[in-house]
Structure 1
Amino acid sequence: MSSVNSSDLRDDDRHHATDALAASAIADETGGVGLGSLLYRVKYADGTVHKLFESGTNNLAALLRIWVVAVTEKAQARKWVPTPRTAWDMDAAYGLYRRVAEASLAHWMDGRCNTCNGTGIQVTQHACPSCKGTKRAQIVGGRLESEKIADMVGELEGLYQAHGGRAAAMLRN
């Protein structure tokens, strides 16, 4: 994304750095979700901070708030837990939803295997025993929680891919 590191965001016959930004913004509007460009900003743009005032932590905090709400809605619709009857049940359910949201977002943001640093192989040129050559870290947690986390990582990837597809289609047009 040249627009992220560009010092000249003019949009004329010779400057096209803003094309990807415009396509991404319009893709959010047409997709109706509004989460796609935020996923891109947090994963790619916020790590390239050039000046102190351009800190990207606000985007991550906003993404986490939105994602916790989205996971809670998905969990309730999919009936991850029986309908809470007491305040304790409700607190436990929302605790699960928040843990799954935080872990799934963290894993999606950087799910590389720490043992092999995401290469899939060891120094000895054998497959990494931790990730078994997949280059992805194992999702940690109990069986129920890790299944839900993996499901939400898939949801994030789906949102990300759909947004990228809509933006790419707009750039082609």
Structure 2
Amino acid sequence: MGFSDRYVAALGSNNLMDDALHHQTDPLVAAALAGGIGALLCRVKYADGTLNRMFEGNQQNLAQLLRIWTVEVIKRGRARRWVPENTAWDAAAAQALYRRVAEKSLAHWLDGKCRGCGGTGVKVLLGNGICTSCKGTGVGAVYGVAGLELERVKDMVSELSSIHDSHSGRAGGLLRCGDM
């Protein structure tokens, strides 16, 4: 069982006792101690109403994550020189691009399931073949963007996955070591 599975199990636990026999809080503690934007990514993706629709979730976490991610995308876009920022018009267009890329990449990373099969990779109507929309991967296309912007969104989705994987690795390491 990976870190994400343990984190989700801890969120759904009805017994958060923490003693020699009960360790349900360990993944939550490890996620907090691993810190950084990865902790916020995990909180928004797994904890804020996505698993249990009995509550609406914490919109402030999503808003904070979007602000942090937008700043990060702007920093990465400038460092990688996605577009020139020579004039005021160029700078304004670049800022608009960075914001759209940040919003689209975060939205796709949080819920990038194929619309045709619901993320299962299997045809919904027939139920016995590979989904033609996603070719069986369960990951849907990024909608509403094309060309340069689509490539940048895909790049930033990959960056988000890397941040999440790195955070999960640090938190999983903390769980294995017991250094919490």
Give the TM-score normalised by structure 1: 0.87
| Structure 1 position 20 matched with structure 2 position 21 | no
Residue type of the alignment partner of 1:9: L
TM-superposed deviation, 1:136: 1.0
Confirm or deny: 8 A CA contact 1:84 1:93 kept in the other structure.
Answer: no
- In structure 1, the residue corresponding to 2:27 is in which secondary structure? helix
| Structure 1 position 144 matched with structure 2 position 148 | yes
TM-superposed deviation, 1:118: 1.4
In structure 2, the residue matched to 1:91 is 92
C-alpha RMSD of the superposition? 1.9
Confirm or deny: 8 A CA contact 1:49 1:55 kept in the other structure.
Answer: no
TM-superposed deviation, 1:129: 2.3
- Tell me the alpha carbon deviations over residues 49-87 of structure 1, each in whole angstroms, 9 at most, x when there is no partner: 5776x732111111111000000000000000012311x
TM-superposed deviation, 1:24: 1.2
Give the whole-Å Cα distance in 1 for the aligned partners of 2:162 and 2:77.
17
Give the whole-Å Cα distance in 1 for the aligned partners of 2:147 and 2:173.
39
- In structure 2, the residue corresponding to 1:136 is in which secondary structure? coil
Q: Percent identity?
A: 49
In structure 1, the residue matched to 2:4 is none
- In structure 2, the residue corresponding to 1:35 is in which secondary structure? helix
Give the whole-Å Cα distance in 1 for the aligned partners of 2:94 and 2:118.
34
Give the whole-Å Cα distance in 2 for the aligned partners of 1:113 and 1:73.
30
Residue type of the alignment partner of 1:12: D
Q: 1:75 to 1:16 in 2, by over 3 A?
A: same
Residue type of the alignment partner of 1:142: A
The within-5 A match list for 1:17-166 is: 17-28=24-35, 34-47=36-49, 48=51, 55-86=57-88, 88-122=89-123, 123-124=125-126, 125-140=128-143, 141-166=145-170
Residue type of the alignment partner of 1:119: T
Give the TM-score normalised by structure 2: 0.84
